[in-house]
Structure 1
């Protein structure tokens, strides 16, 4: 099932919001919370990716990625998830931000309210 424009905007906003929260959690060196926040961000980013590559499955999020994404973005997500641990979350967040940046032209071209996100980025 496809995302509505509002659901798509929410997925973008939540992806960025949890990354923003991650930044502050990392400054406090709260490793457990950092991993949790990355997981939340990735759950929402999965919907963003699916909205682009396989919109009819976008509502399913993470559970639909393995059968719905092209190889390159899927491999990026796999690498991110492999680094989501207490010891390697710094690598995961860099990879997640890079994956977001790789899609940012498309995201900002299609986001109903792109100015809302740019402030947090």
Structure 2
């Protein structure tokens, strides 16, 4: 038979009963301490086992939720071609318009560029 926390506690209870029957105060005190510690350990082990079961169940539920939420994935809006940004920057500099060397090209500059270069595909 395998030794479980419950069995160990039962064995400790039997030892405690023998210690109490012997009447030796030091032995009774030690046996009582051992019994209490074993009961605490058994409760802790049981709580850990329950926590693992809860964690497994939460993972199952999260997986099920992801499956149910499925639906179509959201798509990002397509980005402007980098060539259009580069062309707009060059155009703006030639026009004497201040434009940042990196990062986003302001919408106002893009609109002015598109208006000045109709039908041009960058």
TM-score, structure 2 normalization:
0.28
Higher helix residue share = 1
Which protein is bigger by CA-based radius of gyration? 2
Which structure's relative contact order is higher, taking Cα pairs within 8 Å and 6+ residues apart? 1
